[in-house]
Each structure stands twice: as C-alpha cells, then as structure tokens.
Amino acid sequence: MKLDDFNNIDFKNAGSLPVPVKLVLLGILFVIIVGLGYWFLWRPEIDAYDQAQAKEQELRQTFLAKKAQAVKIDAYRQQMIDIEKTFGALLKQLPDKSQMDGLLTDINQAGLGRGLEFELFKPSQEVVADFYAEMPIQIKIKGNYHDMGAFATDISKLSRIVTLNDLSIAPMNKDAKDSVLVMEAVAKTYRYLDTSEVAAKKAAEMKDKKDKRK
C-alpha cells in the first residue's frame, strides 16, 4: 500500500480498490461514525447520567439529615413538653386582670408592714406586649435603710412577679442627724392578657397592617 493509492482513489470504482486501502477507508469511516455517535447520542446520555448521580447524592444527604432528625424526634418532643411546663409555671406567676387590685394591695402592705410611709403610690398606664401587660407603679417611700432592704426582700418573695426599677435612695434631710431615707422607684408588675384582650390586640394589629397597605 502506497501513498499514491490514496491520492488516486476513484470512489465510483470503490469495489476495485486494493484491500489495504479499503481497510484504511473503512477504519476512517468507523472513527467518524463513532465520533458522531458519541457527540450526538452518547454525550447527552452521559451528561444526564452524571446529573442523575449528583441528584442522587443530594437526595441521599437530605435523607440522612432527615433520618438524624427523626431519630431525635422523641428528645425534641420531650424538650417541648418541658418548655411548655416551664412556661406554664411562669405564666401562673402572672395574675389575671381580676387579681391586679389584690397584687397592688400586697405591694402596699409590704411597705406598711415594714413601717415605711408611702408618699407616692401611683399605678401608670399599662404597656401591652404579646401575651402579657406590664404595669409600672411609681412609688416614693420614706423610712430607714434596714426597713427599705426588708421591703425589697418582701417584694421579691411575693407569689406574683414584681420588680423594682430605677431605684434612688437619698437622705430625707441632708442637714438632719436622723437616719430617715427617701426611696423612689418604679415597681413593675405583670399580668397575662385574657382571651378577649388577645383577640382584640390581634384585630387591632391586623387593622393597622391593612391601613398601612392603603
């Protein structure tokens, strides 16, 4: 087989070509067919297969993550039960609306019981939050330091939550030699909102949202 055999190929008489030339031409044709088949047929299938494998790995990882969560579901449920119990216990420390007057009386009695004299005891406007309302009470009392400390301790021991904020203690008379002090503070107590109040609050919030959209 010589190079001239390929330069003088007459495809009209391909049957009379030398066998070696025929074999070479068939080999070239085979390579071209395989190349075209790979490009147009096999390559898209290979790409789809690779994508399917990647998707399988993604789904496998998702499955393993979900399985790990499912294994811990009992622990999560128990945790939610514990949280609800704790929340319920804290909620019981908040009086309802009907108990607020009694709580205000308890605060007042805690001071009087320690021999303190109230110069101011003024409940302010309630501040409403998600499920509770905060009532600030401006107080001004006078007495000695020991009794004021005992009063603060008594407040912390009440069955309902009461906090003393913005404390200010000063001598009643700087020039006097007695130990009478004046304490000003904001006592804050809290109550939970009843069902009707929660519903009214949500209705008001919805109305505000609608008004803002207009």
Q: What is the pLDDT of residues 181-200, one digit of tens each?
A: 999 999 998 887 777 777 77
Q: Is residue 8 one of the residues assigned to a domain? A: yes
Rounded Cα distance, 111 and 117, in Å: 7
Note whether 102 and 188 are same-domain residues.
Answer: yes
Note whether 113 and 20 are same-domain residues.
Answer: no
Q: Is residue 204 one of the residues assigned to a domain? A: no
pLDDT of residue 30: 74
Rounded Cα distance, 201 and 207, in Å: 10
161 has pLDDT over 90? no
Q: Is residue 89 one of the residues assigned to a domain? A: no
Distance of CA 38 to the CA centre of its chain: 53
Q: Is residue 78 one of the residues assigned to a domain? A: no
What's the mean per-residue pLDDT of the chain?
Answer: 78
Note whether 60 and 23 are same-domain residues.
Answer: yes
Note whether 58 and 104 are same-domain residues.
Answer: no
Is residue 121 within 8 A of residue 186, CB to CB? The reply is no
- Tokens for 6, please give them: 């390929």
Note whether 116 and 188 are same-domain residues.
Answer: yes
pLDDT of residue 34: 74
Note whether 144 and 61 are same-domain residues.
Answer: no
Rounded Cα distance, 213 and 121, in Å: 43
pLDDT band at 27 (very low <50, low <70, confident <90, very high): confident
Note whether 61 and 111 are same-domain residues.
Answer: no
Q: Is residue 205 one of the residues assigned to a domain? A: no
Note whether 25 and 111 are same-domain residues.
Answer: no
Note whether 14 and 50 are same-domain residues.
Answer: yes
Q: Is residue 86 one of the residues assigned to a domain? A: no
Structure-token match 């005891």, residue found: 121
Greatest Cα pair distance, the chain, in angstroms, is 137
Rounded Cα distance, 118 and 6, in Å: 121
Structural domains in the chain (count): 2
Is residue 181 within 8 A of residue 148, CB to CB? The reply is yes
Q: Shortest CA distance to 189 belongs to which of 142, 148, 139?
A: 139
- What CATH number does residue 107 fall under? 3.30.70.60
Which range has the top average pLDDT, 72-76, 100-104, 145-149? 145-149
Rounded Cα distance, 10 and 130, in Å: 94
Rounded Cα distance, 148 and 181, in Å: 9
